[in-house]
């Protein structure tokens, strides 16, 4: 029997990349899945179609900006209206950002924290409103929260805050029988990585990008969305029912 059969999950930011991989894996394990997206509805519908055709479970797409608290609340209500309940949350939506101390503007700061930090906090708040005992939550941090990169202070801070948030919220949610954990992925092969991957490397080193990657990652290569989805699926299952308040690095041994 699939380990998530009969469960209802929502995966934020799931029209592509890591979120899409998580949604597909949860569906393969039997969960009905709602996915959220900010733009590109055609990609969201492609993900929904892939879930339905590939697994036979139900899936829906909901447009919601994770930087807008009211939209987050309405998103959770729509999930419950459609499925009658909510068991699992994979809070994946986030935005990447690189900028030096001099370059970062107040609006940049506010937007990054609105999506990466505030958005995850309120996703948890409004998901928990509908969860019963046995609910599971996974939030998204990053290897950047503990490993410094040039011009990455703003993004890293937004993700580091998530790890502290998860640890503290575990004390509130534990008595309700709800677990909450975080994942901290390293470099993963997605379209976002294609856009920003080079900025994690040092352009002054006299070695190629491939050689830098091999030197920085113990396993010598970036991960795939499936690698992240496997861990998230475990943390959202009852197999992880005695794990809470933790952040799990899944980064190929990035150092």
- Catalytic residue list: 141-142, 155, 159
Element (H, E) at 160: helix 153-173
Instruction: Note the Cα 44 to chain centre separation in Å.
Output: 16
User: Strands (DSSP E) along the chain, which ranges?
Assistant: 8-11, 32-37, 59-63, 88-91, 136-140, 179-185, 247-250
- Measured CA to CA in angstroms, residue 109 lies from 20, 98, 112, 142, 173 at distances of 27, 11, 5, 17, 29
- What phi and psi, each to the nearest 5 degrees, are found at residue 114? -60, -40
Q: What are residue 225's phi and psi, to 5 degrees? A: -50, -35
Here the tokens at position 152 are 């990455």
Question: Residue 197 has which token pair?
Answer: 């991957």
Work out the number of other CB atoms within 10 angstroms of the CB of residue 150: 12
Query: Tokens 């993900």 appear where?
Result: 47
């Amino acid at each position: 029997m699939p380990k998530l059969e009969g469960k209802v999950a929502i995966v934020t930011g799931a029209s592509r990349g890591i979120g899409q991989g998580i949604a597909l894996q949860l569906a393969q394990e039997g969960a009905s899945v709602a996915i959220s997206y900010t733009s590109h509805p055609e990609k969201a519908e492609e993900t929904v179609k892939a879930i339905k055709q590939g697994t036979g479970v139900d899936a829906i797409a909901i447009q919601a900006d994770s930087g807008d608290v009211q939209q987050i609340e309405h998103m959770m209500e729509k999930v419950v209206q459609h499925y009658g309940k909510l068991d699992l949350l994979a809070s994946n939506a986030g935005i990447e950002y690189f900028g030096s101390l001099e370059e970062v503007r107040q609006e940049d700061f506010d937007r990054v924290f609105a999506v990466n930090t505030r958005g995850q906090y309120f996703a948890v708040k409004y998901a928990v409103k509908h969860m019963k005992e046995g609910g599971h939550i996974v939030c998204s941090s990053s290897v950047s929260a503990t490993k410094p990169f040039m011009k990455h202070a703003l993004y890293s801070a937004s993700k580091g805050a998530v790890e502290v948030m998860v640890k503290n919220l575990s004390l509130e949610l534990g008595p309700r029988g709800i677990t909450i954990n975080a994942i901290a992925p390293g470099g993963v092969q997605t379209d976002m990585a294609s856009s920003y991957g080079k900025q994690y490397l040092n352009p002054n080193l006299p070695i190629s990008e491939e050689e830098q990657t091999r030197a920085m990652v113990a396993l010598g290569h970036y991960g795939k969305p499936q690698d992240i989805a496997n861990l998230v699926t475990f943390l959202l299952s009852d197999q992880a029912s005695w794990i809470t308040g933790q952040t799990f690095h899944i980064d190929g041994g990035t150092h």
